[in-house]
Structure 1
């Protein structure tokens, strides 16, 4: 029984292959194709050739020439230099001088005295604050007091 199922399976696969690919009348043919061959010829192309051109480059060199104003040699150059010189500061000292006139003693002296005057200030007084409790809601919502 197993051999019969196996042969049936091979036959069905072979039949489906023939249906998809046609019958076994496949044949190959050969055809010659000409392939063109290209030959390369070297054609000389003229290129620019660098030619050395003789050139004379003159660099100007400063030369002394006569000026109407006489310039002394060497030329004086002003140099500003800050030099700190220590300066000795004189210290103060007491000089006793004799007074040429007589000072009368006792002499009149005016004394100004300032007395602070106390100003009565208000002092805190305890005031009782009564909070009323309303059991009924007022007609004006959010105000809290009845008008």
Structure 2
């Protein structure tokens, strides 16, 4: 598997290969969770209130699932394929919680390329350590040298 983690986008569809990957690492902070709650207007106390969150099945505060998913969007929009990419579809499953202080690795891998339609299918996942916390698949419209 080609690991091109330090490259900057865009990766044009003409340069992509199945198995190409990119990732980013982000430590989720209390401030990230507070800002996401403000922007999304999702103020569920499981994200913001320690006392409440301790009474839940998570036994403590967790980050918004969509905050974790947004890290996938960052990889797609900034690294693979990068600037000029248009999201067409994203399927995902949330498998485990992300807590304040966790470092999330968001990863994408090229699964299929349709050069004629400029569509790329990507495997998407987020991990905290060895634990996969989010898994899915995306379909994107990739930038092309021929289109620009």
TM-score range, shorter chain: under 0.3
- Report 1 or 2 for greater relative contact order, CA contacts < 8 Å, sequence distance ≥ 6: 2
Instruction: Please report the TM-score for the alignment, with normalisation by the length of structure 2.
Output: 0.15
Higher-Rg structure is 1
Instruction: Please report the TM-score for the alignment, with normalisation by the length of structure 1.
Output: 0.16
